[in-house]
Amino acid sequence: MDNNSSPSTSHRPPFVITVGRQFGSGGRELGKALADALGIAYYDKELLVESAKLAGVNPEFFQKKDERFPTFLQGLFSFSMGVTPMCYYTGASSISDDGLYKSISDFLRSVAQEKSFVVVGRSSDYILRDHPRCVNIFVHAPMADCVRRIMGRNDALAADKAEAMARKTNKWRADYYNFFTDKTWGDAKSYDLTLDSSRLQMKDNVELVKAYLRLRGFID
């Protein structure tokens, strides 16, 4: 859904749930389940498309640079994660790293004034740090559980490949977050709630967050 149709939220001011997550921890699954349960909008890859529209560039360019450390600094600091750096095109259909981040920030701040939603990643907790009704969550899990989830969705066929993918992606996300914010990715102080998703079934994780929202007065 992309409007506040839930009876529990329709008469209240908009609120936002931001979800940071380790790769394979189920953070995206939790975010989508929360949005569905609350009847509010959900932004993940959709955020890139909408932000690209706002910036007037090709959405594919946003996807190539999604939650990646700024390109120009990769060369400046010999930044390497054991992979070949992506070559990004330039020209009329491209945008700088700062411009990309600004487009995402502008879109989120604009929508946050209009409706409630869940947003996954993209340092959204920092972008919306001045929003009075924003709940920031970080989802993590033991590596073994992350590996099982990664393999279960066929992102990798072998456990060692799944673990390498998780570590590499977490490194990307941490460097992106730490560069664009004055906080530390995954540090409990940066969030309202941190959840080990392996402790409960996903439906129970959803209920746990909903209970917190009720105590904060965001939903009935």
DSSP-assigned states of every residue in 135-195: EEEEEE--HHHHHHHHHHTTS-SSHHHHHHHHHHHHHHHHHHHHHHSSS-TT-GGG-SEEE
Pairing relationship of beta strands 16-21 and 117-120 according to DSSP bridges: parallel
Residue 193 backbone dihedrals phi, psi, to 5 degrees = -135, 135
**Which has the closest alpha carbon to 107: 122, 86, 95?**
122
What pLDDT shows up at residue 75? 34
What pLDDT shows up at residue 61? 56
213: helix, strand or coil: helix
Cα–Cα distance measured from residue 55 to residue 35, given in angstroms and rounded to the nearest whole number: 26
Contacts for 180 with CB less than 8 Å, ≥ 6 apart: 101, 123, 126
Torsion of CA 63, 66, 68, 69, to 10 degrees: 110
Element (H or E) spanning 97, and its range? helix 97-112
Tell me how far CA of residue 28 lies from CA of 72, 81, 140, in angstroms: 29, 24, 11
What pLDDT shows up at residue 88? 32
Burial of 80 (0-12, 13-18, 19+ CB in 10 A): exposed
1: helix, strand or coil: coil
What pLDDT shows up at residue 78? 30
What pLDDT shows up at residue 96? 57
Supply the DSSP symbol for 122: T
Taking the alpha carbons at both ends of the chain, their separation in whole angstroms is 19
What pLDDT shows up at residue 104? 84
User: Which pLDDT tens digits describe the chain residue by residue (220 residues)?
Assistant: 444 445 455 578 999 999 999 999 999 999 999 999 999 999 987 776 776 676 666 666 555 555 454 443 333 333 333 333 333 333 334 445 667 788 888 989 999 999 999 999 989 999 999 999 999 999 999 999 999 999 999 999 999 999 999 999 999 999 989 988 999 999 999 999 999 999 999 999 999 999 999 999 999 9
Element (H or E) spanning 17, and its range? strand 16-21
